[in-house]
Amino acid sequence: MVSNLIISAQNLDLTFQTNDGPVHALKDVSLEIGKGEFVSFIGPSGCGKTTFLRCIAGLEQPTGGQISVNGMTPDEARKARAYGYVFQAAGLYPWRTIGGNIKLPLEVMGFSKAEQAERVARVMDLVDLSGFQKKFPWQLSGGMQQRASIARALAFDADILLMDEPFGALDEIVRDHLNEQLLALWARTEKTIGFVTHSIPEAVYLSTKIVVMSPRPGRITDVIDSPLPRERPLDIRDSKEFIEIAHRVRDGLRAGHQDDV
Amino acid sequence: MIYVVGALILWGLGWMLNARLANGPRANTRAVQIAVPVIFGATILLIWELIVRGLSVPLVILPPPSMIATTFANSLPILWADFVQTFVKGALSGFVIGGVAAFLLAIVVDRYDFLRRGLLPVGNFMAALPIVGTAPILVMWFGFDWQSKAAVVVVMVFFPILVNTVAGLRDTSDMQRDLMRTYGASYGQTLFKLRLPAAMPFIFNGLKIATTLALVGAIVAEFFGSPTRGMGFRISTSVGQLALDMVWAEIVVAALAGSFFYGAIALCEKGVTFWHPSQRS
Amino acid sequence: MFKRSVLPVLTVLGVIMALWYAACIPMNSAWTIQQLERSGETMTVSEHIADTWAQERPRLPAPHQVAAELWDTTVMKKITSKKSLIYHGWITLSATLLGFGIGTTLGVLLAVGIVHSRAMDMSVMPWAIVSQTIPIIAIAPMIIVVLYSIGVQGMLPKAIISAYLSFFPVVVGMVKGLRSPDAMQLDLLRTYSANKSQSFWKLRLPASVPYLFASLKIGVAASLVGAIVGELPTGAVRGLGARLLAGSYYGQTIQIWSALFAAAILAAGLVALIGLLERVTLRRMGERP
């Protein structure tokens, strides 16, 4: 039993009905995530990592099993605004300024005008975007746009941050930089983070817990608790421990692959 | 004969000038981009003038531009009254009524999937039909005055705006809609904060198509009966009297009205959808 | 398939029919009441309603009356008869097709010129675009009368109107299509040192086909409108436009509605035909079905 349980899934099943017959996206997935953990989901495409994240967010309905978020059903948690979600693309509204985009969830949730302004300023500072409030998304680089979308997810101060390959479309250098910033942000805000990725170094560098998944049907093959300290400079990636964990992740991915090659 | 030769020489000169401007080093400047079509248009007008005079083309076939301009300047009160009757009363009121009705229906249709599946093919089908043919019926129902013209315009602009608005309201990605769901946003919040802004480029596309249709509808409907004023009325009676200078003056009014109407909508579009890739420079 | 697409459309059509029948009652009942007052008879409500659906010159004819008129004037009449809608339809259709052919051909040629000559592009293209915003159909009556006065009448004047109405959409669409290949595709041909005509035939023209068909559909609908409007000003006695005009002179509402439906069927048929051609062509060119 994890202390301060935030997310708990038991024997989760999800089958999509498609034109080519049913697709078993998740099979018998059980996982517990405690408060303040940074959990990465890694696996090849079709392994159900994004689907699992969407189940936590209440964006997909599981067809079997139990899942609870903050002791509620995901749908209730969604309506209680328990989490911020960051998508693969920044998905900022082009007709709103950066500040306007970050304000969007606050408007929807009915914060007062003064509180909106105060929160926008705070989270923009948090992701290092102060001064870009009046710019439009298309005037910013891809990395800055993704930072703005993280700020948008942080604006209403939910305890949980769910991120679906947020840096997948960015180049390596920008990605390293954002990874570092994300860790700093996590340390400062003590949020619980669920993070989908297909990059092994990214998963190992960021996480306290790495969940390895494999496809057809989507399932968990390994859960690795990282022995790395919470304080992580970028060059920790050259350390022996880091390489060992990366190895274990790679082995897990390979094992999951064996039965369909 | 000298006029005709002059016209040919002018044509050659105008074209040479344009060819040099267009292939010259300053071809991408705004000034040249405006100058070239203006030179082309002016050349055409001059050649028209010269040929009509040179070959003494009868006025009942083609009046020279100078005469059209004179008629235009001398009949401003008539042209203005016709413009008000056809454009302001007929086309504009029909455009507003039809546009608002189509917009509201689009929002209802979009809300109910069954309605959308049913109405959209019908709307697309209707948008391709010669709806202007309803003019005689509507003139019979609403009388000769502007009300019947407005009715024709309503029917004509309705379907393009409906179809475009419905398409626009659906033009949001799954991700954008999921984002609103993660905020637990209501239908109204999603509509006003996401889907209507996203639909604006489509809506304006429909509105722009509708501007031309509105004028066509208002003018053609007058061919089926009108009070003794209006652009369509003036065109059909002047044609009957072989007063072609008046017909052309009226066509100039129609062209100006059409371009300004379209231009006004395009200007609004630029203001509202400044963020869309097609509007950024 | 049936539940997803056919059923909703049928439902909507059914509702439209029902509304149509319902609308006939208030629209036509004044006439019925007038007749009753004149004759002093009385009617039950159902008789009254039935009467609004069976008048000879109703303000709004009921669907079955229009259908009966359509049947009567197509299948039941010889096609050479002046009362046959097929005869009138053919008059309009032939002018439409001739004009559409002329307009499309000239439009494509001008588009090719515009794409290859910068001077032509900069001179003509702005005017072609502006022409789309103005109601050029307003010149239709003048063309008919002017051509009549120099002895040209019948199909040709209408075809000319049809031609210029379909001309501009084709020019604009075709220019867009011929310009649709992106820089990379054009650069590829440049690495083969292909000349202008090779890159035209092998890249620009095939790339423009989807755009061409899109503007052909707009063009053919505009052509038909042109031919119909072209029949109005001279008081022509043949063609669908003439039927509309005659019907409105003599208050023959059923005739107007049937001519309107004939025009609609014609338009739908022409657009569908081009849609079919489009599908066949694009499939031959390797587009996924």
B30 shares its domain with B161:
no
B92 shares its domain with B136:
yes
Position B63 in a domain = no
Position B78 in a domain = yes
B37 shares its domain with B167:
no
B130 shares its domain with B263:
yes
> pLDDT tens digits for A63-120?
888 888 888 888 888 888 888 888 888 888 888 889 989 988 888 888 888 988 999 9
- Domain of B36 in residue numbering reads as 2-57
- Number of domains chain C contains: 1
pLDDT at B77 exceeding the cut of 90: yes
Position B280 in a domain = no
Span A122-144, average pLDDT: 86
Share of residues in chain B with pLDDT > 90 (%):
40
Look at residue C189 in the predicted model and tell me its pLDDT: 79
A72 touching B (Cβ < 8 Å): no
How far apart, in whole angstroms, are the C-alpha atoms of residue C217 and residue C272?
9
B82 shares its domain with B137:
yes
Position B21 in a domain = yes
Look at residue A185 in the predicted model and tell me its pLDDT: 84
Look at residue A258 in the predicted model and tell me its pLDDT: 59
List, as ranges, residues 22-61 from C with C-beta within 8 Å of B: 59
Q: What φ, ψ does residue A214 adopt, rounded to 5°?
A: -140, 155
B225: left (phi over 0), alpha (psi -120 to 50) or beta: left
Touching A (3+ Cβ pairs <8 A), the chains are B
List, as ranges, residues 169-208 from A with C-beta within 8 Å of B: none
Strand partners, A223: A211
Look at residue A241 in the predicted model and tell me its pLDDT: 84
Q: CB-hemisphere CA count at 13 Å for B173?
A: 10
Between vectors from CA C176 to CA C111 and to CA B259, what angle results, nearest 5°?
A: 85
Position C174 in a domain = yes
B48 shares its domain with B159:
no
B255 touching C (Cβ < 8 Å): yes
DSSP secondary-structure letter at A60? S
Low-confidence ranges of chain C (pLDDT < 50): none
Touching B (3+ Cβ pairs <8 A), the chains are A, C
Residue type for position B213: L
What secondary structure does DSSP assign to A157-215, as a single string? --SEEEEESTTTTS-HHHHHHHHHHHHHHHHHH--EEEEEES-HHHHHHH-SEEEEEET
Does 3.40.50.300 match the CATH number of domain A5-82+159-258? yes
How far apart, in whole angstroms, are the C-alpha atoms of residue B4 and residue B12?
13
Cβ contact A–C (≥3 pairs, < 8 Å) = no
Mutate to test the interface with C, among B17, B55, B215, B220 (most CBs of C within 10 A): B220
Look at residue A215 in the predicted model and tell me its pLDDT: 82
Cβ contact A–B (≥3 pairs, < 8 Å) = yes
B40 shares its domain with B103:
no
**ipTM for this model:** 0.83
Look at residue A257 in the predicted model and tell me its pLDDT: 64
Q: Do A108 and B280 touch (CB under 8 A)?
A: no
Query: Considering the entire predicted model, what is its pTM?
Result: 0.84
Position C224 in a domain = yes
> pLDDT tens digits for B195-233?
999 999 999 999 998 998 899 899 988 888 888 888 999
B94 shares its domain with B127:
yes
Q: Which residue of B has its CA nearest to C129?
A: B259
Q: What is the CATH number of the domain that holds B83?
A: 1.10.3720.10
By CB atoms closer than 10 A (0-12, 13-18, 19+), residue C276 is exposed
User: A104: which chain B residues are within 8 Å (Cβ-Cβ)?
Assistant: 183, 193
Please give the mean pLDDT across all residues of chain A: 85
Position C94 in a domain = yes
> pLDDT tens digits for B101-130?
999 999 998 888 888 888 888 888 887 778
pLDDT at B70 exceeding the cut of 90: yes
> Nearest CA to CA, how far is B274 from chain A (Å)?
8
Position C247 in a domain = yes
Per-residue buried b or exposed e for C220-235, using 16+ beta carbons within 10 Å of the residue's own CB: bbbbbbbbbbbbbbbe
By CB atoms closer than 10 A (0-12, 13-18, 19+), residue B242 is middle
3-state secondary structure of C56: coil
B212 shares its domain with B81:
yes
User: C130: which chain B residues are within 8 Å (Cβ-Cβ)?
Assistant: 259
List, as ranges, residues 167-196 from C with C-beta within 8 Å of B: none
Position B40 in a domain = yes
> pLDDT tens digits for A143-194?
889 889 888 888 888 888 899 988 887 888 888 888 888 888 888 888 899 9
Domain extents in chain A: 5-82+159-258, 91-157
- Residues ≥6 apart with Cβ < 8 Å to A72: A80, A82
Q: What is the CATH number of the domain that holds C204?
A: 1.10.3720.10
Taking alpha carbons only, the member of C65, C233, C244 closest to residue B138 is C244
Q: Do C133 and B139 touch (CB under 8 A)?
A: no
pLDDT category of residue B257 using cuts at 50, 70 and 90: very high
> Nearest CA to CA, how far is A58 from chain B (Å)?
8
Residue type for position C53: W
Instruction: Compare CB distances from B258 to C122, C133, C260 and report the shortest one's residue.
Output: C133
Tokens of residue B229, six digits? 């004023």
A44: left (phi over 0), alpha (psi -120 to 50) or beta: beta
Look at residue A261 in the predicted model and tell me its pLDDT: 43
Q: Do B223 and C229 touch (CB under 8 A)?
A: yes
> pLDDT tens digits for B131-179?
888 888 888 888 888 889 999 999 999 988 998 999 899 888 888 888 8
Position C125 in a domain = yes
A237 touching B (Cβ < 8 Å): no
- Number of domains chain B contains: 2
pLDDT at A27 exceeding the cut of 70: yes
> pLDDT tens digits for C190-241?
877 778 888 888 888 888 888 899 899 889 988 998 888 888 766 667 888 8
How far apart, in whole angstroms, are the C-alpha atoms of residue C257 and residue B214?
22
pLDDT category of residue A1 using cuts at 50, 70 and 90: very low
Position C135 in a domain = yes
3-state secondary structure of A127: coil
Position C212 in a domain = yes
pLDDT at B94 exceeding the cut of 90: yes
Mutate to test the interface with A, among B182, B194, B274, B278 (most CBs of A within 10 A): B182
Q: Do B193 and A107 touch (CB under 8 A)?
A: yes
